[in-house]
Structure 1
Amino acid sequence: MPRFARPAALALAVATLTLSGCGAQVTSSQGKEGGSRAADGHYPVTVENCGEKKTYDAAPRRVVTNDVGITEIMFALGLEDHMAGYVMPDDKGDLTSVPWKDGYGRTTWLSKERINKELVLDARADLVFAGWNYGFSEGEGFTPEALRRVGVDSYLLSESCRNGQGKARGVMAPLDALYTDLRNLGRVFDVEGRAETLIASFRKEVAAAQAKAPKGADRPRVFLYDDGQDKPLTSGAYAGPHDIITKAGGDHIMKDLKDSWTTVGWETVVARDPEVIVINNYGDTTAEQKRTFLRSYKPLANVSAVRNDRIVVLDYVDLVESPRNPAAISSLAAELRNVGS
């Protein structure tokens, strides 16, 4: 388990869980990759997460995840048996057609509301996998430090790492963030082989998409539209859409924003004249409603993407850090090949 002190009551609950879960149940996901964790010398392991080094003496057993991309990272690694459950609203698209759809049936949907400390304690969690603005927020009083005070560890989504410029997020390229989390969690849960196999398959899929993607002067200018009418919420260089757009053969018009998800002015969008707009599909405002707004908003009337009706829709989970990112690159690359044809 992570090396930190627990309050007595929670420590007793964890100790009871440890005793009742000993034997094969403790290492239920292991055995697919080798012998006993106690015998093979894997632990302790130390990983670096958002600049902090964390040491684990054993794999966490009751992980609570927040949001769909984070949850599917766990599923892609085959770690359902190490989860107490997941938290996310029911606006995150189809959950039945992904390769790891069985994970949803094997774990508990703890809440469709915001994650909070009480929910985590009720789930007897030993680790929360979330991120800044992916559950963690000082304004909500739900932070890694607040959890640490009640004896629960945290792992931060690497896309959400803060870079020291206020609350700006992003310390590495978006796909590197995905691969970093897969490797780190592979070590923490002793499934490194599984993690490396995933990374290799994702790299192969991305390379295949890039080989067919537009290049040079043929790269269309692309804008990611998340939501908002007065000011659009979009993605900068450190959010998933940056790598999805650029590796699919697009020129991301907000690549100079050294942040992940942030707002800009419509005047900037108009000045950069995107030839394609990608809509982030989630939330109370449907993709069709967003499309209707973009088409009817007068300042955008002469923007190339609106004038030529080149508006593409991708789901939220395609665009935030998740194991669906490589497939999103392939899908968008096919769309961008048609621009100008």
Structure 2
Amino acid sequence: MLPRIAALIAGLGLTGLAQAAATHYPLTVDNCGMPQTFAHAPERAVTIGQAGTEILYALGLGHTLAGTSLWFNNVLPEFKAMNDKVERLADNDPSFEAVVGKRPQLVAVQFEWMVGAQGVVGTREQFDELKIPTYLLPSDCEGKDNLVGADGTRLQAFQVDSIYKSVSQLAEIFDVQDRGATLNADLKGRLDSATAQLAGKDLSNTSALFWFSSADLDIDPYVAGRQGVADFMLRTLGVRNVVESTEEWPTVGWETLAKANPTWLIIARMDRRRFPADDYQKKLEFLHNDPVTRNMDAVKHDRIIVLDADAMQAGIRLFRGLQTLSAAFASGKAAQ
């Protein structure tokens, strides 16, 4: 259990959170329109996506993981010892055979493009045929069409409640509801502290741009669109996203972005190396040397925030990311 969560219980007298009713099996969970039934708490699980992996670690369920995959950053320090005991099936997308070969009783999936109608790993029906339940994080299916755009298009704004829902449902599946309630209390506390730090600060004229990566540094970058997870972070803190597309991570030309001239640039730091721009140092070098980007106010005045890529995703790191952004917006100083 996270030290912060344990302290939260002791300091706030939240011992009542540990009184949640036990799960009654068989349990059926409606997940992204596909009911999934569990005869008992899964004893072996595989995760496809870092967000789901770290949620399970935060719930104290690392011992159930037989394999993980799809990592953007190194695991959070408090989970390193736990993570070192779990086989990494792939840094990016694993094969269908590698996943089912672990004989999982649950496959937790961060993105529908990994396991879905056009899943690069497989479809949910393929897993269902093998009687392997799949759990897709609701944040990537609720109010979103993943068949439009490279990373899907939001039909409505991302709701942070979808993360709390993931925590609660996974906790129920594994019969650790008390841990789920405690984790959600911690996450909500982090969100509240981030917004409180900006109380009374006028950010009505403040704007920002999230740069996730680029397939190559000399072509249009992948940036955060409206209504997605990164946009939620800005809206929560009262900052405007200069990108208007409703795609999750559309590509937009630097000339257009430079014309929008955001107050802040937020760039993703990754440990994966799928694209050249996954390296945040190369992002910084590009921004300071490209004839278009080097004249942007955020570059000239060093208003560039380096944020872990997984903090821009729908998982527990999002709340830490909010706190990082809030501190920078409050002080006017970049965070790295």
Q: TM tier, shorter chain?
A: 0.7 to 0.9
How far, CA to CA, are the matches of 1:338 and 1:240 in structure 2? 23
What's the TM-score, normalizing by structure 1?
A: 0.78
What's the counterpart of residue 243 of structure 1? 232
Alignment of 1:224-263 (within 5 A): 224-228=210-214, 229=217, 230-254=219-243, 256-263=244-251
What's the counterpart of residue 83 of structure 2? 104
Is residue 174–residue 238 contact of structure 1 (8 Å, CA) maintained in 2?
Answer: no
1:274 lines up with 2:262 in the alignment: yes
Gaps of 5+ in 2: 1-16
How far, CA to CA, are the matches of 1:165 and 1:123 in structure 2? 27
CA offset at residue 34 of structure 1?
7.3
CA offset at residue 177 of structure 1?
2.3
Q: Give the counterpart letter for 1:154 in structure 2.
A: T
What's the counterpart of residue 120 of structure 1? 99
4+ residue segments displaced more than 6 Å: none
- Percent same amino acid among aligned pairs? 25
Is residue 153–residue 247 contact of structure 2 (8 Å, CA) maintained in 1?
Answer: yes
Which of 324, 328, 333 is matched with 1:335 structurally? 328
Aligned length: 303
Return 312-321 or 55-64, whichever deviates more.
55-64
What's the counterpart of residue 136 of structure 2? 156
CA offset at residue 186 of structure 1?
1.6
Q: Give the counterpart letter for 2:171 in structure 1.
A: G
How far, CA to CA, are the matches of 2:302 and 2:282 in structure 1? 15
Alignment of 1:123-138 (within 5 A): 123-132=102-111, 135-136=114-115, 138=118
Identify if the C-alpha distance between structure 1 residues 141 and 320 changes in structure 2 by more than 3 Å, giving closer, same or farther: closer
1:213 lines up with 2:206 in the alignment: no
How far, CA to CA, are the matches of 1:54 and 1:219 in structure 2? 46
How far, CA to CA, are the matches of 1:133 and 1:291 in structure 2? 31
CA offset at residue 316 of structure 1?
1.5
Which of 57, 60, 73 is matched with 1:75 structurally? 57
What's the counterpart of residue 12 of structure 1? none
CA offset at residue 172 of structure 1?
5.4
What's the counterpart of residue 9 of structure 2? none
Alignment of 1:81-96 (within 5 A): 81-89=63-71, 92-95=72-75
Q: Give the counterpart letter for 1:208 in structure 2.
A: S
How far, CA to CA, are the matches of 2:108 and 2:210 in structure 1? 26
Identify if the C-alpha distance between structure 1 residues 118 and 251 changes in structure 2 by more than 3 Å, giving closer, same or farther: same
How far, CA to CA, are the matches of 1:327 and 1:308 in structure 2? 25
What's the counterpart of residue 283 of structure 2? 290
RMSD: 2.9
What's the counterpart of residue 187 of structure 2? 202
Q: Give the counterpart letter for 2:259 in structure 1.
A: A
Identify if the C-alpha distance between structure 1 residues 226 and 239 changes in structure 2 by more than 3 Å, giving closer, same or farther: same
Identify if the C-alpha distance between structure 1 residues 294 and 204 changes in structure 2 by more than 3 Å, giving closer, same or farther: same
SS for the counterpart of 1:209 is helix
What's the TM-score, normalizing by structure 2?
A: 0.79
Is residue 159–residue 169 contact of structure 1 (8 Å, CA) maintained in 2?
Answer: no
User: For residues 239-289 of structure 1, what are the alpha-carbon distances to aligned partners after superposition, in whole Å with 9 as ceiling and x for unaligned?
Assistant: 3322333334532223x4333233233344233221111111113331110
CA offset at residue 83 of structure 1?
1.9
User: For residues 129-159 of structure 1, what are the alpha-carbon distances to aligned partners after superposition, in whole Å with 9 as ceiling and x for unaligned?
Assistant: 1133663362635222222233322111223
SS for the counterpart of 1:132 is coil
